[in-house]
Amino acid sequence: MKIYKTLQGFVIEHTGQYYISRHTDWDLFINREDLFFELQREIQLLPAASEYKSLIDNGLLAPIQSQEVWAAGVTYLRSRNARMEESKNAGGDNFYDRVYDAERPEIFFKATPNRVVGSGQAVRIRRDSKWNVPEPELTLFINSKGQISGYTVGNDMSSRDIEGENPLYLPQAKTYDKSAAIGPCIAIFDEPISPESTISIEILRYEIPLFSDSIEINRMKRKLVDLAEFLFRESSFPNGCFLMTGTGLVPNDNFTLEVGDEIRITIDGIGTLVNTVEMK
Ligand code: DO4
Ligand code: MG
């Protein structure tokens, strides 16, 4: 089942049918411990109508209200190698090697809700950076009890030159206005997401495909439950939180995003997050 936050209410999608939820508070709705069963109850009671799809097509919002967004890093070999390369002149290369093998994962604060955009909205690249990439990431919704109860598609926009100059610049490379995108929905399953699920990315410039790649989430070094456990060890999240789980897809080092590029990130069973790039 999928839930979408729209300007005119919360839309539930199940087997090609669309319903409008009776819930009106996104924080309370998505943080329910019995979310999957609540959605099952709702679709039995509510009338389905194909017109409800137009609420998604015309008024889609990011599936967030007051949650913080956090991110894990260096969870795929490809990410470890790219960071080691970009930071070697700054002497930061062996941090990435070490964290990849360490018991404690890299987890960093990514964004407050006001810095997050949804599908169909623009992400930004920094004006003081010359090397910017999207990072396509499976993103968990973890409820306030620390349970992974939903999945969405995330883009952890990153300034690789700033991050590569000095690892201490990571917060500036990662956190700025419109640096995080999540959506289009939260997918709620009755079992953990399949490890064979594929994340794929396509970047278009002037509508022409420029870069595309894909990876299965089973290539991730860490277990999703372990990432959630580390995040919740000493922090509480009264309305739950989102956790981006790291990228395994990194364009070649000569690639940088430009204003106007379209980024399309798809995860099997969840959907496609589409964003264009702006700089203002
Ligand atoms: O260590 C820096 C950030 C890593 C990251 O964002 C990723 O691997 O996805
Ligand atoms: Mg990342």
Whether 173 and 247 share a structural domain: yes
Whether 44 and 80 share a structural domain: no
Whether 108 and 233 share a structural domain: yes
Q: What value of ipTM does the predicted structure carry?
A: 0.99
Q: Tell me the per-residue pLDDT of 227-276, one tens digit each, with 9 for 90 and over.
A: 999 999 999 999 999 999 999 999 999 999 999 999 999 999 999 999 99
Whether 22 and 115 share a structural domain: no
Whether 48 and 180 share a structural domain: no
Give domain status of residue 64, yes or no.
Answer: no
Using CA positions, which residue lies closest to atom 9 of ligand 1?
Answer: 246
For the record, the structure tokens of 69 come out as 């967004």
Pocket residue to mutate for ligand 1, from 70, 79, 172, most atoms within 8 A of Cβ:
79
Give domain status of residue 140, yes or no.
Answer: yes
Q: How far apart are CA 257 and CA 203, in angstroms?
A: 9
Q: How far apart are CA 188 and CA 30, in angstroms?
A: 10
Q: Tell me the per-residue pLDDT of 116-165, one tens digit each, with 9 for 90 and over.
A: 999 999 999 999 999 999 999 999 999 999 999 999 999 999 999 999 99
Whether 54 and 153 share a structural domain: no
Q: Residue 138: give its domain's CATH number.
A: 3.90.850.10
67 lines ligand 1 (CB under 6 A): no
**Integer-rounded Cα radius of gyration of the chain:** 18
159 lines ligand 1 (CB under 6 A): no
Q: Where are the alpha helices (DSSP H) in the chain?
A: 26-30, 35-45, 53-59, 77-86, 93-101, 160-165, 170-174, 224-232
The residue range of the domain holding 106 is 69-278
Partners of 186 in beta bridges = 3
Å from CA of 46 to ligand 1 middle: 42
Angle between helical axes of 93-101 and 77-86 (0-180°, round to 10): 160
Whether 163 and 254 share a structural domain: yes
Q: Could you say which DSSP state residue 113 is in?
A: G
